Amino acid sequence: MARAALNWSLTDLSKAAGVHRNTISNFETGRYGGSEEALAAIEQALVAAGVEFIAENGGGAGVRLRKG
């Protein structure tokens, strides 16, 4: 959802995070859980681009874009 909110392709996120696009694809489809380092790099890239991660609050976890 975070990648979609930014309208980023796998390649866009791969470049921003410094993580191979296959790693991201496999993580998104549930084929691979991802290493701690790769997941941290992906999260940092998304946050730097304006994504806010919302903790589960009874309605499920989610994402939104930061205002301004």
Residue 56 belongs to what domain range? 2-65
Task: Using pLDDT thresholds of 50, 70 and 90, give the confidence band for residue 66.
Answer: confident
pLDDT, tens only, 3-17: 999 999 999 999 999
Name the pTM for this structure: 0.84
Contact 25, 10 (CB under 8 A): yes
Q: How far apart are CA 46 and CA 40, in angstroms?
A: 10
- At 57, which CATH number? 1.10.260.40
pLDDT, tens only, 13-55: 999 999 999 999 999 999 988 899 999 999 999 999 999 988 8
Tally of domains in the chain: 1
Among 47, 38, 44, 43, CA closest to 65? 47
